[in-house]
Every structure is written in C-alpha cells, then in structure tokens.
Structure 1
Amino acid sequence: MTKFKSLAMATALFAVSPWALANPTTYDIDIPGMHAAINFKVNHLGFSWLTGRFDTFEGYFIHDETNPANEKVEVRIDTRSVNSNHGERDEHLRSDDFLNVERFPEAKFVSTSVTNQPDGTKLIKGDFTLNGVTKPIEIVAKKIGEGTDPWGGHRAGFEGRAEFKMADFNFKMDLGPTSSTVYLDLHVEGIKRD
C-alpha cells in the first residue's frame, strides 16, 4: 500500500469518527412564557393536583448530536416568581414553610452528566439547589426538534420530566405522603449563540 493510500484511509477513518463530527453548540433559553416553561404539580391531599409554574428563569444548554459527553445544562430560577394562579397561596409558597424566598431567592440546576438512552431520550443528571440545599436529581429529556427559524436563527427544543421530595430540600410544611413529591414538567427552546 502506498503512503498516499494509507494517508487517504486514515483521513477517511478520522472523518467519520464521532470526535471528528462532534459539534457542541450553545443555546440560550428563550424567553420564559413564550417558548420555555418550568411547570410543577403536587398532589393535593390525594384529592386533585395543585399546578403552577415559575415565571422568571434563565439559562443555557450545550447540545451535541454526536457526543452527549459534551452536553451541559444550566438553569437559574427566580423562586419569587412562583405562580399557582392564587395570590394568597403563592405568598404561602414563598414563605419559609416552602421556598423561603427571602433567604433563598434563586434555585439552580447544573448538569453533571448527559447520556443517551436506548429509547431515544436523554438522561440528564445534575445538582439541584433549592431552599439552600443542593441534591442530585435526574431529568429525562426528549428532543422535540432543531433547525432554522423564520428569522434566520437556529433553534433546538426539548421537553423533560423530573421529580423530587419536598423533605429533601427542607420544606417545613408536611402535607402528608400523598403530597410529598413535586413533579416538574419542563419545556425548553433555545436560540443558538452567535
């Protein structure tokens, strides 16, 4: 085999390797309420669901179609923006019985790993800080779509699910076993950074 052929084969092999194709792209999360949402629900004493959202948050994610080891998510939430469509209840949620927003006005999620699952979802593990406590949680995420928007920008969108126990984050109010878990419903659309 000639040196030229050896070089050509090596180049071809490198060209199809995942490392060569890796293209981590950073996206800023779009305006909350327009194309991004952090929703939650808690079972209300076994009778129904209390639902709500956080109206103010910001963050970014890094997406790499070929190598999830390059992927990352970071989100900061203004806990004072909690909104359950009931003013009196929202004041209670902001109190030290729950979110304790005077002392801890920000919650934060920072991913520590992202792995692709056989069913096509992504398992995002990370540290969640809420009410002054940091604990690991997991988000199961699914890509909705990616491409060029009508204004020439590039967007990617995901949905995700997560849950945590209120007691793990030192919530004082105990509403009983049926209401101990908070379920998160996440919808994130990102705009590619220039």
Structure 2
Amino acid sequence: MKMTQALLASCLFMAAPLMAADYDVDAAHTTVQFKVGHLGFSELVGRFNTFSGTFSMDDANPAAAKASFEIDAASVDSNHEARDKHLRSPDFLDVKQYPKMTFVSTVYEGTKEKGVLKGTLTLHGVAKEVAFDLVKIGEGKDPWGGYRSGFNASTTIKRSDFGVNYMLPGIPDEMSINLFVEGVRK
C-alpha cells in the first residue's frame, strides 16, 4: 500500500509541469522594453519599470494559454530624464489622461514551445488587436522552493494606430515591443 502511494505521489509530481498552471509575473526578473527609431540616425531602446501581470500555460493544451499585463505608463525610462518627461506628456503617452497600458490575450496559436499570442493592447486610450510572437525559454523548480516559467514575446506596432502622432515621420511610426518574462507559479 505504501509503495502504491509513493508511486502515485511521484507520478503526480512528475506530471505537474504538464498540467495547466497559473503564474504571477516576477517584476524583478521581467523586462518590458520598446525600441523606436530616432530621427533616422539611430534606434532608441527604453523600458517600463512598473508593471504587473499573470499568465497561464498548459503543456497538454497550448491553445488554452492566456496572459494579461498592466503597465504604469509614467514608469517609462529611456535613460534620459528630460526625454522621459516629454514621453510622459500629451505629445506621446499623456500619462495624466492615460495612466495605464494593458494587454489581455484572446487566443494563442502554436505549440508549447513557440507560437503567436493575440490579444487587445490598450495604449493612449485606444484598444487594438496585436499579435506577439512568443518563444518559451524554460521552466522548472527554483532554488527557493518555487516553480518558474519564462518566455520572450515581441511585436511591432504603429504608434499612429494608437493616436500617438507627434513628430511623424521624423520619429518613425513603427516601434517594437519586447517582453522578457519570468513568472512564479501560484
């Protein structure tokens, strides 16, 4: 009887990574980054420092994957305080009127290793469907007794689609969004 219980317990433990799991985004090990051209001379890379999110993954049913993120627009950080102040202004993010940016997934197409996560991005008060290319990096037990999973996701948007038209075309319309995500299983 004890042998049967031990065998059953070990089978359940080994199957745990294959079951659906919900994760909280670990902000200390996650980066929300953007990249946009600068006057045709170079590319500017920036990030958002304050955000939260959740995601769910099911290796047995990848189509059930989902994610949601909320980003504090005022946390924009381009490594230049004067530029960051301008990015927070009505010319760009208008953080007083639109303090949050959100993404809520609607569908995932792909395998457990890579695919496309589609959903609604709300930026500058405008909601649009976007598609993130997603690549799973890995998952497993961490040294502190938890369980983690990570992925990278990227997309390209046109800022004009979200009503951010300042200095077009001097500052290009297209910008990339890159997420480097690590989550802790709930």
Do the aligned residues in 1 keep the contact of 2:38 with 2:170 (CA within 8 Å)? no
Out of 50, 74, 86, the position equivalent to 2:44 is: 50
Match of 1:29 in 2: 25
CA distance in 1, matches of 2:173, 2:147: 40
| Structure 2: gaps (5+ residues) | 1-16
Out of 115, 130, 143, the position equivalent to 1:150 is: 143
Match of 2:84 in 1: 90
Residue-by-residue CA offset, 1:23-76 (whole Å, 9 max, x unaligned):
221000002xx3100011101122101110000000100011121222100000
| Number of aligned residues | 170
| Structure 1: gaps (5+ residues) | 1-20
- 1:82-161 aligned at under 5 Å gives the runs 82-116=76-110, 120-161=113-154
Counterpart residue identity of residue 43, structure 2: W
Residue-by-residue CA offset, 1:81-116 (whole Å, 9 max, x unaligned):
000011110011011111010000000000000111
Identity in percent: 44
CA distance in 1, matches of 2:63, 2:37: 35
CA distance in 2, matches of 1:157, 1:104: 29
Do the aligned residues in 1 keep the contact of 2:63 with 2:110 (CA within 8 Å)? no
- Give the TM-score of the pair, scaled to structure 2: 0.87
Counterpart residue identity of residue 126, structure 1: G
How many angstroms does 1:178 deviate by?
6.5
Do the aligned residues in 2 keep the contact of 1:39 with 1:185 (CA within 8 Å)? yes
How many angstroms does 1:185 deviate by?
1.4
- Give the TM-score of the pair, scaled to structure 1: 0.83
Out of 32, 55, 73, the position equivalent to 1:38 is: 32
Do the aligned residues in 2 keep the contact of 1:45 with 1:175 (CA within 8 Å)? no
Q: Find the residue that maps to 2:29 and give its secondary structure.
A: coil
Do the aligned residues in 1 keep the contact of 2:40 with 2:170 (CA within 8 Å)? no
Do the aligned residues in 2 keep the contact of 1:146 with 1:155 (CA within 8 Å)? yes
CA distance in 2, matches of 1:96, 1:68: 40
Q: Compare CA radii of gyration and give the structure with the larger one.
A: 1
CA distance in 2, matches of 1:122, 1:190: 18
CA distance in 1, matches of 2:173, 2:86: 17
Do the aligned residues in 2 keep the contact of 1:59 with 1:74 (CA within 8 Å)? yes
Greater mean deviation of Cα atoms: 175-184 or 38-47: 175-184
